[in-house]
Amino acid sequence: MRVPVLTYHSNNVGGNDYASNDHVALAEDLARIHAAGFRIVPLSRVVAVRLGLADPASVENAVALCCDDGSWFDWHDMDHPTFGPQKGFAGILREFGAASGAPVHMTSFVIVSPAARAVLDRTCLAGRGWWTDAWWADAEREGLIAIESHSWDHNHATLPETAQRDGRRGTFRSIDTHAVADAEIRQANDWLDAHVRTPRAGLFAFPYGETNEYLLRDYLPNHSAQHRLLAAFGTDSRPVGFDSDRWNLPRYVCGHHWQSSDALVRLLGARG
């Protein structure tokens, strides 16, 4: 088992070329991934195989796709105030699926707290109400984009306060006690189960790709009855294999681990 997990950020719109825009990058990468003979499988299947719950043959020659933060740019076609019309990730996936006949799926790791998103909409986007969760249940129903947790409030540096009460924001390494881990991780799963999805053991992606010994060795393995996660993802640059840490599964990040479709194809080809 060696499955690359590719991560995109739909809020990354700083121009209209591959390097500055993850929508351009995703559309180009989908075509190249397909032409190189890879198929797209749901991230939940990769986790199921890693945990011995599904047949490894079901992820042969496969990649899985995910995106982070959960804004409207994942779902809606948007008119960016500076860079003009942007097709949402959902539309890019549907268009590619229709043209290629290939199955498509993406997992969106969303920032769950409505109050945190209302602030982030102003501090990180254009302040136009583009970070509401109005589309999440529709996405779950359609089955194209699965909604999973990227924590309660991302412990984001631009929020006036977060679950991390000591003010150590802008990092996830400071989520290092039971109380704050419970507020960031268990609380987020509770909200998603109550508002968006059929209650289930979920997936988690660490904000900033950052974690710590407390989360990896104590909270995640020892408190699963509370947090109800199946697995968590960081951002180590390697494919998911049977030897990957269930609580820190690797993901490649667009713009960070690869900067062009050529580089992505090389990265996939080197997967051994």
- Rounded least distance, CB 23 to Zn ion, Å: 17
At residue 230, φ and ψ (nearest 5 deg) are: -90, -35
- C-beta closer to Zn ion: residue 149 or 187: 149
Residues in the site for Zn ion, rule: CB under 5 A? 68-69, 207
Question: In the complex, which residue's CB is closest to Zn ion?
Answer: 68
Q: How many angstroms separate the Cα of 94 from the Cα of each of 90, 103, 201? A: 6, 9, 27
161-170, long-range: CB < 8 A, 24+ apart = 162/116, 163/187, 170/208
State the minimum distance, in angstroms, from the CB of residue 205 to Zn ion: 7
* Cα(235)–Cα(254) distance, integer angstroms: 11
Sign of the Cα torsion 212, 258, 122, 112 reads negative
Q: What H or E segment, with its residue span, contains residue 49? A: helix 43-50
Supply φ then ψ for residue 6, to 5 degrees.
-105, 130
Closer residue to Zn ion, CB minimum distance, 69 or 74: 69
Nearer to Zn ion, 12 or 86 (CB): 12
> Could you tell me if 133 and 114 are in contact, meaning their C-beta atoms sit under 8 angstroms apart?
yes
Q: How far is the CB of 148 from Zn ion (least distance, A)?
A: 12
Nearer to Zn ion among residue 22 and residue 68 (C-beta): 68
CB of 36 to Zn ion, least distance (A): 28
Q: Minimum CB separation from Zn ion for residue 157, in Å?
A: 12
- In sequence order, the β-bridge partners of residue 40 are 63
Looking at beta carbons only, is 248 or 261 nearer to Zn ion? 248
